Amino acid sequence: MERCAVVDPALAYLGRQNVVWTYIELARTLPAAVVERREAFVSCIAPINLSFCNFALDFDAARLAEPGEGERLEELAVGCPSFRSFHVPYREDDPVAAWLASRGWKCQHSLIQMGWTLRDGEAGPPLRLCETDRERLEVAEFMVDQFFWRQEPDMKRVILDATVASCHGLWRYGDPDIDAAVMTTRSAGSLGLYNLCVRRALRGAGLGTALVRSIQSMGREAGVPVVLQCEAALEAWYEQVDFKKTGILESYARSR
């Protein structure tokens, strides 16, 4: 995949801000997590070896060369194999990737950033917002079973607790059993779509598409675009439901 093709800088920026809000809100719920806002980036450190709570992001290219910024980033990564620097460029001449490479960081993984802009379209089925801890836990367990089934039980518990304790919206479809679920996050100017999942036995019948339409209806009602990140293999699928690529999200690890 081409390293950086920022198709829509304005929408890419909104997607970046949504990622920042989503990651920090999940991480800050964990016991002993420390979120630090520096001149050049935001970071989170927690005594759990998972990258979703040990990271830096929201890099300010103009501030990276200031004394202590690069050194602090390296300090955070020392002794934490899962620590990652997440970068979402929103312009073609973004220098952050080159700066990270010059400091010994290597890109480990990339996701496609996509966005849907306001337009008329087909409405999806009504989803139920889960508001009690019990309801949120049930949906979180469903999501973890779909996405993190290979994780150890202790790590699953951390992800569950963070998801339930966050302020992000957890939505379900199906009753009494959950047939599908999705998480939404609202930042300034956009609605984020995360963790879209359908029960394995029901996949391939259009239920995932229907849920995306439901989230688009939420965006339409709020008057904001919908943004997401996905694997490259899913780009064509999301294009079928009117999303377009806006850029990428890159995950960098410190060379040991």
| pLDDT on residue 201 | 93
Pairwise CA distance, residues 226 & 135, whole Å: 24
Left (φ > 0), alpha (ψ -120 to 50) or beta: where does 162 sit?
alpha
- On the question of a common fold for 9-113+248-254 and 128-247, the answer reads yes
* 27 vs 47: CA distance, rounded Å: 11
* Strand-pair category, 128-129 with 226-230: unpaired
Kind of pairing between the strands at 84-87 and 105-116: unpaired
The pLDDT tens digits of the residues spanning 151-195 come to 778 888 888 999 999 999 999 999 999 999 999 999 999 999 999
**Collapsed DSSP state (helix, strand, coil) of residue 243:** coil
Residues sharing a CB contact under 8 Å with residue 57, sequence separation 6 or more, in sequence order: 19, 20, 23, 41, 42, 43, 85, 86, 87, 88
Tens of pLDDT, residue by residue over 108-124, are: 999 999 999 988 888 89
> If phi over 0 gives left and psi between -120 and 50 gives alpha, with beta otherwise, what is residue 150?
alpha
Please name which of 129, 107, 91, 102 lies closest in space to residue 10, comparing C-alpha atoms. Answer: 91
Helix (H) or strand (E) run with residue 161 in it = helix 153-165
CATH dotted code for 9-113+248-254:
3.40.630
pTM to 2 decimal places: 0.93
- pLDDT more than 70, % of the chain: 97
Number of continuous H segments (helices) and E segments (strands) in the chain: 7, 11
What stretch of H or E contains 162?
Answer: helix 153-165
Protein fold of 128-247: Aminopeptidase (3.40.630)
Instruction: Please check the confidence at residue 244 and state whether its pLDDT lies above 50.
Output: yes
Q: Are 225 and 117 in contact (CB under 8 A)?
A: yes
Domain positions in the chain are 9-113+248-254, 128-247
- Rounded mean pLDDT, 5-30: 92
